[in-house]
Amino acid sequence: MYRRHLVSMALCVIVTLTTATVAAAQAPAVKEKPQTFAPPSTVLAAFVTPMIQVPDSAVAPVVAATQSRSFLMHRAHVAEFIAFQSKLAEQKLAAARTAAKAELAAAHLGVQSSMFQCIRTAESGDRYSITSGAYGILISTWQAFSNVWSPLGSWSVPGDAPVEVQDMVAYHLYQVGGGYGGWHNHCTGT
């Protein structure tokens, strides 16, 4: 048993004995009756009944202390759970960032071909800073593929994103779209 249970039980016993002593002292004197033995259930009922009839003023501090401790323990468990969830979310974000950085490196190598150089020149004059970025990516397409770049930051239009991120999204579109078909210009022949 925990110490708090022992304290609560001791308080109940003290209150019960005190109540029984006071009641016995106030009771009128009774003639002695011949001693009889009561069945065990009667003895148990006689012991339990005074415990149930403990005055509220004696129990209130114990109940309040128990409720307060329960509340504090619950709050501590909630805080631990929130900290665990936060740590888990941070780990997931860190893993996503690591994967995105690896994809950045692969995409940088992937867009070094003469075809991507031609697309950059045709779409933007090889300028990454214009609204649609170096690859002429539509804003709706940029938002649709936000899961590709979102672990690295937040940009509303392609031209606001760093060069590496624009390269990564263009390379991703190339892989998902099955080639250069999304770019309609003289470079792709479409």
Q: Which two tokens stand for residue 118?
A: 């031609």
Least confident of 34-48, 70-84, 175-189: 34-48
The alpha-helical segments, DSSP class H, found in 111-138 are 114-124
Mean of per-residue pLDDT scores for the chain? 77
Element (H, E) at 190: none
pLDDT at 31: 56
For 102-137, how does the pLDDT look when each residue is reduced to its tens digit (9 = 90+)? Answer: 888 888 888 888 889 888 988 899 999 999 999 999
Average pLDDT, integer, range 135-142: 90
Backbone φ, ψ for residue 145 (5° rounding): -105, 30
pLDDT at 8: 66
Q: Is the pLDDT of residue 71 over 90?
A: no
Gyration radius (Cα) of the chain, Å: 39
Least confident of 15-19, 30-34, 150-154, 173-177: 30-34
CB 107 within 8 A of CB 172: yes
**Rounded Cα–Cα distance for residues 55 and 48 (Å):** 14
Q: Which two tokens stand for residue 121?
A: 């020149």
More confident of the two residues 26 and 142: 142
Question: Does the model's pTM come out above 0.95?
Answer: no
pLDDT at 27: 56
**Rounded Cα–Cα distance for residues 85 and 43 (Å):** 54
DSSP codes, 82-96: HHHHHHHHHHHHHHH
Closest alpha carbon to 174 in 113, 95, 96: 113
pLDDT at 129: 92
For 9-61, how does the pLDDT look when each residue is reduced to its tens digit (9 = 90+)? Answer: 666 667 676 666 656 656 555 555 555 555 555 544 555 444 455 556 666 77
Least confident of 67-71, 129-133, 154-158, 177-181: 177-181
User: CA-CA distances (angstroms) from residue 93 to 86, 87, 97, 148?
Assistant: 11, 10, 6, 13
**Rounded Cα–Cα distance for residues 150 and 146 (Å):** 6
Residues in the chain: 190
